[in-house]
Amino acid sequence: MSFVISRRRLVQVTSSAIAAGALSNVTGLASAQPAGELRVATSGGNWGDAIVNAFVKPFEAETGIKVTPIFQDVGAAQIGMMVKTNTVSIDVSTVGAVLGETLATGDFLEKIDYSYYDKNDLDAVPDYCRKSFGFASYIYSTNMFVNTGKLPTAKQRPTTWAEFWDVQKFPGVRSLMSGAGIPGPFEEALLADGVPMNTLYPMDIDRVFASLDRIKPHIRKWWASGAEILQIMRDGVADLGQSYDGRINSLIDAGVPIDIGRNQVKLTWDYWIIPKGSPNAQNAQKFIASTARADRQATFAKLFAQSPSNRNAYKSIPDNIGRKLATNPDYAAGSYPANAKWYTEIGSDGLSNLDQLKQRWKKWIVL
Amino acid sequence: MEVLQKFGRMPAGLTIPAIAILLVVVGIPTIQLFLTSLNAPSFSLVNYQAFFEQRADVVILFRTVTMSVVVTAICVIIGYPTAYLIVAAPQRLRITLVVLVLIPWLTSGLVRTYAWTVILGDHGLINNLLIYLGVISSPLTLVYNRLGVYIGMVHIMLPMMILPLLSAMQGIDKSLMAAARSMGARPFAAFWRVFFPLSLPGVRSGALLVFVGCLGFYITPQALGGLSDAMLSGFIADQFQSTFDLAPIATSAYILLAIAMVVLSVFGFNLSDVQGRPAQISHRARLSQFSSLGQGSRYINEIVTHYRAKRWASHLYQVAHGGTWSKLVGVVFMLSVLVYLLCPGLIVIIMSFSGAAFLEFPPSSLSLRWYQSFLGDPSWTGALWTSVQLGIATTIASTIVGTLAAYGLSRTSSRLRSFLIMVILTPITIPVIVVGVAAYLGLVNLGLLGSKTGIVLAHSIGAIASVVVIVSATLANFDRTLEQAAQSMRAGPLRTFTRVTLPLIRPGIIGGAVFAFMHSFDEVVVTSLVSAFAVTTLPLKLLENIKQQIDPTIAAVGSLLTLMPLLWLVALYFVWRRSRLNASHMLTEPAT
CATH number for position A38: 3.40.190.10
- The DSSP-derived string for B335-399 is HHHHHHHHHHHHHHHHHHTB-SSS--SS-SSB-SHHHHHHHT-HHHHHHHHHHHHHHHHHHHHHH
Domain shared by A318 and A199, yes or no = no
- The DSSP-derived string for B33-91 is HHHHHTTTTT---HHHHHHHH-HHHHHHHHHHHHHHHHHHHHHHHHHHHHHHHHHHS-H
Q: How far apart are CA B325 and CA B354, in angstroms?
A: 42
3-state secondary structure of A131: coil
Cα B173 → chain centroid: 23
**Left if phi > 0, otherwise alpha if psi is -120 to 50, otherwise beta: which for A264?**
left
Q: How many CA atoms lie within 13 A of B98 on its CB side?
A: 22
Residue B301: the pLDDT is 58
Q: Which residues have a Cβ under 8 Å from the Cβ of B395 and sit 6 or more positions away? A: B463, B513, B516, B517, B520
- B365 lies within 8 A of chain A by CB: no
Contact residues on chain A for B241, CB-CB shorter than 8 A: 75-77, 99, 181
Q: How far apart are CA B148 and CA B222, in angstroms?
A: 10
Q: Which chain B residue has its CA at the smallest distance from A100's CA?
A: B242
Min distance A45 CA to chain B CA atoms (Å): 4
- B24 lies within 8 A of chain A by CB: no
Domain shared by A60 and A147, yes or no = no
- A283 lies within 8 A of chain B by CB: no
Option in B441, B450, B533 nearest A72 (CB): B533
Q: How far apart are CA B406 and CA B446, in angstroms?
A: 27
Specify whether the CB–CB gap between A284 and A353 falls below 8 A.
no
Specify whether the CB–CB gap between B163 and B205 falls below 8 A.
no
Residue B315: the pLDDT is 52
Which of B104, B114, B100 minimizes the C-alpha distance to B351? B114
- Asked if B54 lies within 8 A of A362 by C-beta distance, the reply is yes
Residue B479: the pLDDT is 80
Which of A88, A277, A27, A30 minimizes the C-alpha distance to B453? A27
Option in B59, B437, B551 nearest A45 (CB): B551
- Asked if A106 lies within 8 A of B228 by C-beta distance, the reply is no
Specify whether the CB–CB gap between B179 and B246 falls below 8 A.
no
Cα A11 → chain centroid: 28
Q: How far apart are CA B208 and CA B261, in angstroms?
A: 11
Specify whether the CB–CB gap between B531 and A82 falls below 8 A.
no
Cα B569 → chain centroid: 22
Which site among B548, B550, B551, B553 would you substitute to test the A interface, given the most A Cβ atoms closer than 10 Å to its Cβ?
B548
Option in A39, A103, A367 nearest B59 (CB): A367
| Tally of domains within chain A | 2
Min distance A107 CA to chain B CA atoms (Å): 11
3-state secondary structure of B544: helix
- Asked if A366 lies within 8 A of B356 by C-beta distance, the reply is no
Q: Which residues have a Cβ under 8 Å from the Cβ of A132 and sit 6 or more positions away? A: A104, A111, A112
pTM above 0.90, yes or no: no
Q: How far apart are CA B483 and CA B494, in angstroms?
A: 11
Domain shared by A236 and A328, yes or no = no
Domain shared by A75 and A100, yes or no = yes
Q: How far apart are CA B470 and CA B464, in angstroms?
A: 10
Residue B547: the pLDDT is 59
Specify whether the CB–CB gap between A97 and A340 falls below 8 A.
yes
Which of B139, B77, B101, B63 minimizes the C-alpha distance to B514? B101
Contact residues on chain B for A29, CB-CB shorter than 8 A: 449-450, 532, 534
Residue A13: the pLDDT is 36
Gyration radius of chain B over CA positions: 26
Which of A104, A362, A80 minimizes the C-alpha distance to B236? A362
- B244 lies within 8 A of chain A by CB: yes
- B213 lies within 8 A of chain A by CB: no
Which of A257, A27, A209, A84 minimizes the C-alpha distance to B32? A84
Residue B385: the pLDDT is 94
Longest dimension (CA), chain B: 89
In a 10 Å sphere around its CB, with 0-12 CB exposed, 13-18 middle and 19+ buried, how is residue B114 labelled?
A: buried
Option in A70, A71, A366 nearest B56 (CB): A366
Domain shared by A301 and A191, yes or no = no
Strands A219-223 and A174-177, by their bridges, are parallel
Q: How far apart are CA A303 and CA B399, in angstroms?
A: 48
Contact residues on chain A for B540, CB-CB shorter than 8 A: 72
Strands A258-260 and A138-147, by their bridges, are antiparallel
Q: How far apart are CA B359 and CA B364, in angstroms?
A: 10
Domain shared by A321 and A353, yes or no = no
Q: Which domain holds residue A196?
A: 142-267+349-366
With vertex at residue B244, the alpha carbon angle to CA B242 and CA B248, rounded to the nearest 5 degrees, is 90
Give the ipTM of the model, two decimals please: 0.85
Which site among A16, A51, A359 would you substitute to test the B interface, given the most B Cβ atoms closer than 10 Å to its Cβ?
A16
- The DSSP-derived string for B161-217 is HHHHHHHHHHTS-HHHHHHHHHTT--HHHHIIIIIHHHHHHHHHHHHHHHHHHHHT-
With vertex at residue A270, the alpha carbon angle to CA A269 and CA A274, rounded to the nearest 5 degrees, is 150
- Asked if A219 lies within 8 A of B227 by C-beta distance, the reply is yes
Q: How far apart are CA B290 and CA B288, in angstroms?
A: 5
Contact residues on chain A for B249, CB-CB shorter than 8 A: 77
- A238 lies within 8 A of chain B by CB: no
Residue A206: the pLDDT is 97
Q: Crossing angle for the helix pair B196-215 and B452-476, nearest 10 degrees?
A: 150
Contact residues on chain A for B123, CB-CB shorter than 8 A: 235-237
Specify whether the CB–CB gap between B288 and B298 falls below 8 A.
yes
Q: What is the mean pLDDT of each run of 10 residues along chain B (592 residues)?
A: 54 84 86 84 84 88 93 97 93 87 80 87 91 91 94 94 90 84 85 90 88 86 90 85 82 84 68 43 40 51 57 50 78 96 91 84 87 88 93 96 91 81 83 85 90 95 91 82 87 86 86 88 88 89 72 83 76 72 58 40
Domain shared by A157 and A250, yes or no = yes
Amino acid identity of B563?
A: L
Cα B130 → chain centroid: 34
Residue A189: the pLDDT is 98
With vertex at residue A215, the alpha carbon angle to CA A210 and CA A220, rounded to the nearest 5 degrees, is 140
Q: How far apart are CA B204 and CA B276, in angstroms?
A: 14
Specify whether the CB–CB gap between A65 and A286 falls below 8 A.
yes
Q: How far apart are CA A258 and CA A149, in angstroms?
A: 8
- Asked if B238 lies within 8 A of A181 by C-beta distance, the reply is yes
Adjacent-strand bridge partners of A39: A68
Helix (H) or strand (E) holding A38: strand A37-41
Q: What CATH superfamily is the domain B1-38+377-544?
A: MetI-like (1.10.3720.10)
pLDDT in tens, chain A (367 residues): 333 333 333 333 333 433 333 333 434 344 444 448 999 998 888 889 999 999 999 999 999 999 999 988 888 888 998 998 999 999 999 999 999 999 999 999 999 999 999 999 999 999 999 999 999 999 999 999 999 999 999 999 999 999 999 999 999 999 999 998 778 999 999 999 999 999 999 999 999 999 999 999 999 999 988 888 998 999 899 999 999 999 999 999 989 999 999 999 999 999 999 999 999 999 999 999 999 999 999 999 999 999 999 999 999 999 999 999 999 999 999 999 999 999 999 988 888 999 999 989 999 998 7
Helix (H) or strand (E) holding B288: helix B276-290
Q: Which residues have a Cβ under 8 Å from the Cβ of A241 and sit 6 or more positions away? A: A144, A145, A174, A175, A176, A223, A229, A232, A233
Q: Which chain A residue has its CA at the smallest distance from B439's CA?
A: A81
Contact residues on chain B for A280, CB-CB shorter than 8 A: none
- Asked if A237 lies within 8 A of B122 by C-beta distance, the reply is yes
